[in-house]
Amino acid sequence: MLSDRNQEGMEILYDNYSSALFGIIHRIIQNDEIAEDVLQETFLKIWNNFAMYDPAKGRLFTWMLNIARNMAIDKVRSKEFTQKQKNRGLSDSVSPVDFEDHSVYNPETIGLKEMVRKLEPEYKQIIDLLFFGGYTQSEAAEKLNLPLGTVKTRSRAAIQKLRYNFDNVRTI
Protein backbone atom coordinates (compact mmCIF):
# COMPACT_ATOMS: atom_id res chain seq x y z
CA MET A 1 0.00 0.00 0.00
CA LEU A 2 2.71 2.51 0.94
CA SER A 3 4.98 1.54 -1.92
CA ASP A 4 2.16 2.76 -4.21
CA ARG A 5 2.23 6.11 -2.31
CA ASN A 6 -1.25 5.42 -0.95
CA GLN A 7 -2.30 8.14 1.49
CA GLU A 8 -4.63 5.79 3.36
CA GLY A 9 -1.71 3.46 4.03
CA MET A 10 0.30 6.33 5.46
CA GLU A 11 -2.60 7.32 7.70
CA ILE A 12 -2.81 3.76 9.05
CA LEU A 13 0.95 3.73 9.61
CA TYR A 14 0.78 7.08 11.41
CA ASP A 15 -2.15 6.00 13.60
CA ASN A 16 -0.38 2.80 14.63
CA TYR A 17 3.17 4.03 15.12
CA SER A 18 3.21 7.78 15.77
CA SER A 19 3.00 7.53 19.55
CA ALA A 20 5.79 4.95 19.72
CA LEU A 21 8.05 7.01 17.48
CA PHE A 22 7.19 10.21 19.33
CA GLY A 23 8.24 8.55 22.59
CA ILE A 24 11.67 7.68 21.22
CA ILE A 25 12.11 11.13 19.69
CA HIS A 26 10.93 12.90 22.84
CA ARG A 27 13.24 10.86 25.03
CA ILE A 28 16.20 12.15 23.01
CA ILE A 29 15.07 15.74 22.42
CA GLN A 30 13.10 16.38 25.65
CA ASN A 31 11.08 19.22 24.17
CA ASP A 32 7.46 18.63 23.10
CA GLU A 33 7.32 21.17 20.31
CA ILE A 34 10.61 20.20 18.70
CA ALA A 35 9.84 16.49 19.13
CA GLU A 36 6.53 16.97 17.30
CA ASP A 37 8.36 18.72 14.45
CA VAL A 38 10.89 15.89 14.25
CA LEU A 39 8.05 13.33 14.25
CA GLN A 40 6.47 15.11 11.29
CA GLU A 41 9.83 15.20 9.48
CA THR A 42 10.28 11.50 10.29
CA PHE A 43 7.00 10.51 8.68
CA LEU A 44 7.82 12.67 5.68
CA LYS A 45 11.13 10.85 5.33
CA ILE A 46 9.39 7.48 5.73
CA TRP A 47 6.88 8.50 3.02
CA ASN A 48 9.60 9.67 0.63
CA ASN A 49 11.93 6.71 1.24
CA PHE A 50 9.50 3.83 1.66
CA ALA A 51 10.83 2.18 -1.50
CA MET A 52 14.14 1.72 0.38
CA TYR A 53 12.53 -0.45 3.08
CA ASP A 54 13.55 -4.08 2.66
CA PRO A 55 11.47 -6.55 4.72
CA ALA A 56 14.26 -9.12 4.38
CA LYS A 57 16.54 -6.88 6.46
CA GLY A 58 14.20 -6.32 9.39
CA ARG A 59 10.79 -5.37 10.65
CA LEU A 60 9.03 -2.23 9.47
CA PHE A 61 8.87 -0.82 13.01
CA THR A 62 12.62 -1.26 13.45
CA TRP A 63 13.29 0.55 10.17
CA MET A 64 10.98 3.42 11.15
CA LEU A 65 12.41 3.53 14.67
CA ASN A 66 15.92 3.91 13.29
CA ILE A 67 14.80 6.76 11.05
CA ALA A 68 13.10 8.50 14.00
CA ARG A 69 16.05 7.97 16.31
CA ASN A 70 18.55 9.22 13.73
CA MET A 71 16.45 12.28 12.93
CA ALA A 72 16.19 13.11 16.64
CA ILE A 73 19.93 12.70 17.13
CA ASP A 74 20.61 14.85 14.06
CA LYS A 75 18.32 17.54 15.48
CA VAL A 76 20.07 17.49 18.87
CA ARG A 77 23.45 17.82 17.18
CA SER A 78 22.32 20.61 14.87
CA LYS A 79 23.73 24.09 15.36
CA GLU A 80 20.20 25.55 15.53
CA PHE A 81 19.18 23.23 18.38
CA THR A 82 22.42 23.85 20.29
CA GLN A 83 21.92 27.62 20.05
CA LYS A 84 18.30 27.36 21.21
CA GLN A 85 19.38 25.30 24.21
CA LYS A 86 21.97 27.90 25.19
CA ASN A 87 19.52 30.78 24.88
CA ARG A 88 16.38 29.37 26.45
CA GLY A 89 15.01 30.74 29.70
CA LEU A 90 14.49 28.95 32.97
CA SER A 91 10.78 28.44 32.33
CA ASP A 92 11.68 26.57 29.13
CA SER A 93 14.15 24.38 31.01
CA VAL A 94 11.87 23.30 33.82
CA SER A 95 8.46 21.79 33.32
CA PRO A 96 6.02 20.49 35.88
CA VAL A 97 5.51 16.74 36.04
CA ASP A 98 1.99 15.68 35.16
CA PHE A 99 1.52 12.16 36.45
CA GLU A 100 -2.02 12.05 35.08
CA ASP A 101 -0.98 12.68 31.44
CA HIS A 102 -0.81 9.34 29.67
CA SER A 103 -0.74 10.72 26.12
CA VAL A 104 3.04 10.45 25.68
CA TYR A 105 4.28 7.08 24.53
CA ASN A 106 6.06 5.10 27.18
CA PRO A 107 8.19 2.13 26.10
CA GLU A 108 6.99 0.27 29.18
CA THR A 109 3.59 -0.14 27.54
CA ILE A 110 5.02 -2.70 25.15
CA GLY A 111 7.34 -4.21 27.74
CA LEU A 112 10.56 -3.00 26.15
CA LYS A 113 11.78 -1.09 29.18
CA GLU A 114 11.06 -4.13 31.37
CA MET A 115 13.02 -6.37 28.99
CA VAL A 116 15.94 -3.96 29.06
CA ARG A 117 15.75 -3.81 32.86
CA LYS A 118 16.17 -7.62 32.98
CA LEU A 119 19.38 -7.56 30.92
CA GLU A 120 22.75 -8.00 32.58
CA PRO A 121 24.04 -4.62 33.85
CA GLU A 122 26.73 -4.26 31.16
CA TYR A 123 24.13 -4.75 28.41
CA LYS A 124 21.47 -2.61 30.07
CA GLN A 125 23.94 0.25 30.43
CA ILE A 126 24.80 0.15 26.72
CA ILE A 127 21.16 -0.02 25.56
CA ASP A 128 20.16 2.83 27.88
CA LEU A 129 22.85 5.08 26.41
CA LEU A 130 22.51 4.10 22.76
CA PHE A 131 18.77 3.78 22.30
CA PHE A 132 17.19 5.75 25.11
CA GLY A 133 19.92 8.34 25.57
CA GLY A 134 20.66 9.00 21.92
CA TYR A 135 24.40 8.40 22.28
CA THR A 136 26.53 7.13 19.41
CA GLN A 137 28.67 4.08 20.04
CA SER A 138 31.75 6.29 20.21
CA GLU A 139 30.13 8.62 22.74
CA ALA A 140 28.97 5.65 24.84
CA ALA A 141 32.49 4.18 24.77
CA GLU A 142 33.90 7.48 25.96
CA LYS A 143 31.27 7.92 28.69
CA LEU A 144 31.73 4.36 29.98
CA ASN A 145 35.50 4.46 29.52
CA LEU A 146 35.37 1.30 27.40
CA PRO A 147 37.01 0.43 24.09
CA LEU A 148 34.74 1.09 21.11
CA GLY A 149 34.91 -2.58 20.10
CA THR A 150 33.58 -3.61 23.51
CA VAL A 151 30.64 -1.24 23.18
CA LYS A 152 29.86 -2.57 19.70
CA THR A 153 30.08 -6.19 20.84
CA ARG A 154 27.91 -5.59 23.91
CA SER A 155 25.31 -3.62 21.97
CA ARG A 156 25.03 -6.38 19.37
CA ALA A 157 24.75 -9.05 22.07
CA ALA A 158 22.16 -6.98 23.95
CA ILE A 159 20.07 -6.50 20.81
CA GLN A 160 20.22 -10.22 20.10
CA LYS A 161 19.06 -10.97 23.65
CA LEU A 162 16.23 -8.43 23.37
CA ARG A 163 15.19 -9.81 19.98
CA TYR A 164 15.15 -13.35 21.40
CA ASN A 165 13.12 -12.24 24.44
CA PHE A 166 10.73 -10.19 22.30
CA ASP A 167 10.14 -13.08 19.89
CA ASN A 168 9.45 -15.43 22.79
CA VAL A 169 6.96 -13.01 24.36
CA ARG A 170 5.11 -12.58 21.05
CA THR A 171 4.68 -16.33 20.57
CA ILE A 172 3.06 -16.75 23.99
Predicted model pTM: 0.51
**98 assigned to some structural domain:** no
Residue 146's φ and ψ, nearest 5 degrees, are -125, 155
Where would I find the H helices in the chain? 7-29, 32-49, 60-77, 79-87, 90-93, 112-117, 121-127, 137-144, 148-170
Summarize pLDDT for 106-147 with one digit per residue, the tens.
444 456 777 788 888 888 888 888 877 778 888 889 989 999
**101 assigned to some structural domain:** no
pLDDT bucket at 54, cuts 50 / 70 / 90: confident
Helix crossing, 32-49 with 60-77: angle to 10°?
130
The CATH number covering residue 167 comes to: 1.10.10.10
List all residues 6 or more positions away from 25 whose beta carbon is below 8 Å from its beta carbon: 35, 38, 39, 42, 68, 69, 71, 72
Write down which residue in 58, 87, 116 finishes a domain.
87
For residue 70, what are the domain limits?
A: 1-87
Summarize pLDDT for 64-103 with one digit per residue, the tens.
989 999 999 888 887 776 666 655 554 454 445 444 444 4
pLDDT number for residue 110: 59
